């Protein structure tokens, strides 16, 4: 039995829908923040702190994604 090596080729870089994908990620992250905020009323003080910190990181991520959306939109023009 002969074993052949398969050449791994990278997929072509298709960025045509990056803005749309990033917008969905922003929306999903906002929804996660809202759900986390709702669960805070049932959380202990330690859990509340963790939720607050996680939502801060989410806000930073959203800011970065929005900048990336602007860059992608500019590059598509």
Q: For the residues 13-32, what does the mean pLDDT come to?
A: 91
CA distance between the termini of the chain: 53
Structure tokens at 29: 């992250």
Contacts 24+ apart (CB under 8 A), 30-37: 30/62, 32/58, 33/58, 33/59
- Percent of residues, the chain, with pLDDT higher than 70: 91
pLDDT at 1 over 60: no
Chain centroid, CA 50 distance in Å: 19
17 confidence band (pLDDT: 50, 70, 90): confident
Angstrom CA distances, 8 to 1, 4, 13, 40, 59, stand at 22, 12, 15, 47, 38
């Amino acid at each position: 039995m002969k074993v052949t090596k398969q050449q791994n080729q990278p997929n072509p870089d298709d960025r045509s829908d990056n803005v749309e994908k990033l917008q969905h990620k922003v929306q999903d992250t906002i929804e996660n923040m809202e759900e986390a905020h709702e669960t805070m009323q049932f959380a202990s003080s330690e859990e509340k702190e963790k939720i607050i910190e996680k939502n801060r990181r989410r806000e930073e991520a959203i800011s970065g994604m929005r900048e990336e959306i602007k860059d992608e939109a500019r590059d598509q023009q």
